[in-house]
Amino acid sequence: MTLYLDIGNTWIKYQLERPGLAPQQGRVESLNDIDEPVDKLVFASVRTKQATRALLSCFLARGVPCYEAYVSSSAELSCDYDTPATLGIDRWLAALAAQQRFGDCIVADAGTALTVDWVSGGRYRGGVIVQGLQQSVNNLLSGTHLVGEVSFDSLPCVPTNTAHAVGLGAMAQAEGLIDGLRVRWQTDAPLVLTGGDAPNLIRFMDGRAEYCPNLVIEGLKKASLREVK
């Protein structure tokens, strides 16, 4: 069985491919929560090398072959980044998978950070990184008092309390960023949303996007890999 891991800043998304069975997938905080036998592990990580190796140590100790995805231009997608090795692997994999499915597109990954990247003409053109929805709210609340719990569910069109005002403000910032970049990049390519906050954002944007929850793992299956010893 092959285990695919998307190791993010907060969560670990996984997909376990089992012969003759539907893939098992989900998200966990610790790999101890995955107790299935594994023959091969393929991963992408935005954590430090030391933290990632510690996370995978139980598999490495058992001799499970572990393969890391890395940024590498191919016939399908070339990389315009000044130094491709410094491009976040999650951004590259999401772009790789989205390009395979949609061709030219804008890819927004709404997680701990919000990244917005542009794919055009078989090229990863680049993109931007800002704080994610929840991080934006947390930063604001750290310097204020008596706001109360902020939720992104069921936000009104015009907020009439402070918690809703903060939640809608974060959503509107994200939407404004994406729409502004579309104008700056002069593209009407489809928007593809992924990441933990993507369901909230796509509702706010009235469905003006394709929702693909497992883009990074899809990209893992198409990426260049190197074995980790």
Is 129 annotated for ligand binding? no
Is 7 annotated for ligand binding? yes
Contact between 201 and 184 (Cβ < 8 Å)? no
Is 211 annotated for ligand binding? no
The Cβ of residue 179 has, within 10 Å, a number of other Cβ atoms equal to 13
90 belongs to the catalytic site: yes
Residue type, 90: D
Rg of the chain in Å (alpha carbons) = 19
Is 162 annotated for ligand binding? yes
Is 117 annotated for ligand binding? no
Is 109 annotated for ligand binding? yes
Helices (H) and strands (E) in the chain, counts: 6, 12
Contact between 192 and 105 (Cβ < 8 Å)? yes
Is 80 annotated for ligand binding? no
Which of these is catalytic: 35, 80, 90, 117?
Answer: 90
Spacing of C-alpha 29 from chain mean position: 16
Provide the annotated binding site for ATP: 6-13, 112
Catalytically annotated residues: 90
Provide the annotated binding site for substrate: 81, 88-91, 162
Provide the annotated binding site: 6-13, 81, 88-91, 109, 112, 162
